[in-house]
Amino acid sequence: MLIFDAHLDLAMNALEWNRDLTASVVEIRKREEGMTDKPDRGKNTVSLHALRQGNIGLCVATQIARFSKKTNPLPGWNSPQQAWAQTQGQLAWYREMEAIGEMTQITNRIQLNDHINLWNQDSANKKPIGYILSLEGADSIVSFEHLKKSHEQGLRAIGPAHYGPGTYAFGTNSMGSIGTKGKELLREIERLNLILDATHLCDQSFWETMKVYNGPVWASHNNCRAIVDHNRQFSDEQIQELINRKAVIGMALDAWMMVPNWVRGQSSPKAMGVTLETMVDHIDHICQLAGNSSHVGIGTDLDGGFGKEQCPHDLDTISDLQKLPSLLSKRGYTSKDIENIMHVNFINFLHNIWR
């Protein structure tokens, strides 16, 4: 079955982790043997080869670069101009992947339909991974001229905040208002018909955003607070607000977001019972709130700074997402429901806003 993954940090992995994503997962792991600079070294689950193995023909691929003010303890760039330059370097990597036929950028409805038709054809030829460009955290937007340029470069989705306090909104593990600058950004996002990614917005910024923003909104990678009580997840009230706005919420596979009481650096997926079945628990919770299967999808974040040490223990590479249809079927989901969750919901969302 065709899979749409609504959140992958591919360029970040290529440039900051120095991973050659044209290689297989096994090859990348072997190259990283003995490396200790990051906890997921030698445990990666994502490569372009693995995406093809799993028939994951469509994804939302990110640019990401935090600007950290002097008062912000989180790591990041010391100026928004440096953050902008980092996102441009990431864009250059995507362009190189396009040049060698590994990926293809999708910016409109015609390109989307052509790409889906390509992946639905039986063919032994290597197919490019289609990607929709998204910006995770808007700190790198130096001015609205920069946002306009990003849109011209193919940017189609944007999250105002990431972790901590941002330039335009407050994100995970922080609390604060979107303020004047945030409201101005939201107006520009709406004017350009960009998708607002509500992921990572703190509760206050989330609700203030919902009051003033009237454009398309989704949550690319966000789980359920009813299952894991942390501000990184959405409350039922927030999920219902997104459902009312015809949003789609992508389920993430970072273990600490999947089960309660996870201790970073100590807990293990097997000991905590984190499996793909746990992902189905979050999927089912949203479907029960909505009364249908039309508002949930997949947004794995499987390359978001963690690997096998912090994802479902029955997943070796991202291609194992193909285990999900049978798990959903066992829960009583119909073939149509399963197609909705695996790709149709996000594709329909794009069809509706790219008229």
Residues 216 and 349 sit within 8 Å (Cβ to Cβ): yes
In the predicted structure, residue 7 carries a pLDDT above the cut 80? yes
In the predicted structure, residue 122 carries a pLDDT above the cut 80? no
Spell out where 216-345 has E strands: 217-218, 249-251, 296-298
Q: What is the pTM for the complete model shown?
A: 0.97
**Tell me, what's the pLDDT at 140?**
97
**Tell me, what's the pLDDT at 130?**
98
Strands 103-105 and 217-218: unpaired
**Tell me, what's the pLDDT at 94?**
99
DSSP 270-305: HHHT--HHHHHHHHHHHHHHHTSSSSEEE---TTSS
Mean pLDDT on 142-171: 97
Angle value at C-alpha 230, between 182 and 205, nearest 5 degrees = 10
pLDDT digits (tens, 9 = 90+) for 239-264: 999 999 999 999 999 999 999 999 98
**Tell me, what's the pLDDT at 60?**
98
In the predicted structure, residue 19 carries a pLDDT above the cut 90? yes
Chain position carrying tokens 């969302």: 349
Confidence at 123, pLDDT banded by 50, 70, 90? confident
pLDDT digits (tens, 9 = 90+) for 301-343: 999 999 999 999 999 999 999 999 999 999 999 999 999 999 9
Q: Which amino acid is at 297?
A: G
**Tell me, what's the pLDDT at 124?**
63
What are the φ and ψ backbone dihedral angles of 206, each rounded to 5 degrees? -60, -50
Q: What is the CA radius of gyration of the chain?
A: 19
In the predicted structure, residue 76 carries a pLDDT above the cut 80? yes
Buried b (16+ CB within 10 A) or exposed e, 238-275: bbebbbebebbbbbbbbbbbbbeebeeeebebeebebb
Of 125 and 52, the one with more pLDDT: 52
Residues 223 and 257 sit within 8 Å (Cβ to Cβ): yes
Q: Which residues contact 287 (CB under 8 A, 6 or more apart)?
A: 293, 295, 296, 337
Residues 129 and 151 sit within 8 Å (Cβ to Cβ): no
**Tell me, what's the pLDDT at 70?**
87
Taking CA atoms, 258 is separated from 48, 100, 226, 269, 274, in Å, by 25, 36, 11, 10, 7
In the predicted structure, residue 164 carries a pLDDT above the cut 80? yes
CATH superfamily of 4-353: Metal-dependent hydrolases (3.20.20.140)
Q: What is the DSSP letter of 317?
A: S
Confidence at 71, pLDDT banded by 50, 70, 90? confident
